[in-house]
Amino acid sequence: MLLQSRHCGREMSGALTASLSPAEGLDSASTIAAKSIKALAPLLDRVLVQRIKAETKTAGGIFLPESAVKELNEAKVLAVGPGAFDRDGKRIAPSVQPGDKVLIPQFGGSPIKVGEDEYSLFRDHE
């Protein structure tokens, strides 16, 4: 998994453990058993985002059915890794910062679920 604990650099602490979904693979959504997603930090050029949910109620107060609400490609950046290295060994700073709103691809990234909340992990260039 491409996340590390901010509390200890080498491994996850007791209250913060990482476990993969069935078959111990990364091809399906990863599950993190943690009290808070803020306890995790992306590595290298990874960017942790949370999709912004579409409004389910119109300005006039009418509730929209789930089939009419589309998933937005807009997300809020929660955490950013320190950046990748170029061929000369120099660190390339990420192009986004925590708190930025970004457009993300419809598909892609690594899904991460913490409790009922869903997050995605992308590379900076995506």
Residue ranges covered by each domain of the chain:
3-123
Q: What is the mean pLDDT of the chain?
A: 68
Q: Does the pLDDT value for residue 122 go beyond 70? A: yes
CATH architecture of 3-123: Roll (2.30)
Question: pTM for the full model?
Answer: 0.60
Of the candidates 17, 4, 8, 99, which has an alpha carbon nearest to the alpha carbon of residue 43?
4
Q: How many CB atoms lie within 10 A of CB 116?
A: 5
pLDDT band at 66 (very low <50, low <70, confident <90, very high): low
Average confidence (pLDDT) over 22-46: 57
What one-character-per-residue DSSP string does 3-65 give?
EEESS-SSS--TT-EEE-SGGG-SSS-EEEE-S-GGGEEE-TTEEEEEEPPPPSB-TTSPBPP
Which comes out higher in pLDDT, residue 81 or 23? 81
Which comes out higher in pLDDT, residue 1 or 15? 1
Q: Does the pLDDT value for residue 89 go beyond 80? A: yes
